[in-house]
Amino acid sequence: MRRWLDRSLRRRPQLLHGFIGGTLGACGDAIAQTIERRRPGTAGAATAAEATAQPALELSSMDVRRAAGAAALGAFFSGLVYPRVYAVLDARWPGTTARAVCSKTAADIALLGTVGNSFSIGCRLRIGGEQLPEVLVALRDTMPAVLLNELRVWLPYNLLAFRLVPTPVRPATTSLVTLCWQVYISWTAHHHQARVA
């Protein structure tokens, strides 16, 4: 397994990272859908009795289009965006000095925390059938909290990753943190959609 992973990282890193990101994106959305079904007051929520009777992850009631959209976004970010952003940041601020790590972290959060999250939430809402005016309202309403949570999650991760994780492996480790982030972003996008519906 290790040899296959090393070989894949050398030969086709974008495909490997895209596959990992797509898989984790779909899994994150499936988890978010499960949370939404079990949480009262959200779209598709079950009653308390129904929630206890349902299996933890019921695939038959998943919104496949939504999960496929999350997979596509995960593959796009992990296969194309993250590796390129990390390469640019590493070229601009080479090394692992405190200054380089802090500069890369700030730039990553400024770019991916704003543009990346807005793009991700907006695409999820469009895939879910929202029109552009509703998407813009949702972004206005949700982005302040998303940016605050971006700082809570990605600031510590980036400080560690830019200091300790080798560049070729970083998109894969980022994908693992992204799994949790995908759950949050998916839930945030669709929770807002349910509130205004």
Q: Cα(168)–Cα(3) distance, rounded to whole angstroms?
A: 15
pLDDT at 109 over 70: yes
> 59, 66 in Cβ contact below 8 A?
no
Residue 196 pLDDT exceeds 80: no
**Cβ pair 176, 91 in contact under 8 A:** no
Q: What confidence score (pLDDT) does residue 188 get?
A: 85
Residues 44-73: tens digit of each pLDDT: 555 545 545 555 556 667 899 999 999 999
Percent with pLDDT over 90 in the chain: 52
* Residues 23 and 64 sit within 8 Å (Cβ to Cβ): no
Residue numbers of the domain that contains 38: 2-196
Distance CA(183)–CA(172), nearest Å, equals 17
Residue 108 pLDDT > 60, yes or no? yes
Per the listing, tokens 């070229």 go with 91
Instruction: Give the model confidence (pLDDT) of 13-43 as tens digits.
Output: 888 889 988 999 999 999 989 988 887 654 5
| 119: enclosing H helix or E strand | helix 117-127
For 170, residues 6+ apart whose C-beta sits below 8 A from its C-beta are 82, 86, 161
Q: Which residue has the higher pLDDT, 74 or 190?
A: 74
Report how many domains make up the chain: 1
Q: In this predicted model, which residue has the larger pLDDT, 51 or 187? A: 187
Count the Cβ atoms, other than its own, within 10 Å of residue 87: 12
- Give residue-wise pLDDT tens across range 143-186: 999 999 999 999 999 999 999 998 777 777 877 788 888 888 88
- pLDDT per position as a tens digit, 121-147: 999 999 989 999 999 999 999 999 999
